[in-house]
Amino acid sequence: MQPRLLGRLGLADLVTVANAALGFVAVAVAVVDPGLAARLVLLAAIGDGLDGIIARIRGGTAVGPHLDSLADVASFGVAPAVLVYVVASGGTPIPTPTFASPLSVAAVAVPAVYVAVAVVRLGFYTLHDSDGPKTEGVQTTLAATILAAAYLAGITDPVVLVGTTALFGYLMVAPVTYPDLYARDATILGGLQFLAVLFPTVASRTLPRALLLFAVAYLVLAPFVYWREA
């Protein structure tokens, strides 16, 4: 007998739920293989775009936007935060906070704030922006993509990663409006993410570096020069 709730989920919802599970896997492997965790975060970002495409083609369900935000907390809130914490803690198999230095404190505090802000941002997004062509504050998917791509591109300095995470802790709730990507550009981004997942070290890490450049360009330029019809 099929559980009652499963029969009310659409295909897009199942992809969303799988994304949440992928976020957990990224957390689980981060302590032993941060590179794999970063690739899983990017894979989750691809899935995040895929569930939206499926919902537009096949139709979504009333619970879809709520599931999407909950899954995003796992994949783009907790998973990248744990990745940054592990790297900033020295990449030990089971990192234990020592609080012996300002960096060790920041390695715990900053990712914790990042997760908290991501929860707030996603809650308000679901309430106000999920049906519109724009949103206020940096998207959690974009923040997670930049953090994961930066690590895969070879940016592993703890101070840089913690500092970038702190910056996103502000930008996710900053009063800056971001337009949604056109389908063409979303496809390019998804393709770069997929290639970076498959071949992160090929040609001196060219693919994750290209992805990082694309994502940072959108982060910096989109509020000013990337507008579309509402």
Residue 101 pLDDT greater than 90, yes or no: no
What's the pLDDT band for 230 if we cut at 50, 70, 90?
very low
Q: What's the DSSP call for residue 180?
A: P
**Distance (Å) of CA 211 to CA 31, 80, 145, 148, 169:** 24, 16, 9, 10, 21
Q: Which of 186, 202, 200, 107 is nearest to 150 (CA)?
A: 200
Q: Return the CATH fold of 6-225.
A: Four Helix Bundle (Hemerythrin (Met), subunit A) (1.20.120)
Q: What is the pLDDT of residue 5?
A: 63
Domain borders along the chain are 6-225
Q: Which of 107, 15, 103 is nearest to 57 (CA)?
A: 15
- Grouping H, G, I as helix, E, B as strand and the rest as coil, residue 178 is strand
Question: Distance between CA 120 and CA 173 in Å, rounded?
Answer: 8
Question: Distance between CA 184 and CA 52 in Å, rounded?
Answer: 14
Q: Which two tokens stand for residue 124?
A: 């308000």
The dihedrals phi and psi of 221, each to the nearest 5 degrees, come to -95, -30
Cβ atoms within 10 Å, residue 53: 15
Among 13-17, 100-104, 177-181, whose mean pLDDT is lowest? 100-104
Q: What is the pLDDT of residue 220?
A: 94
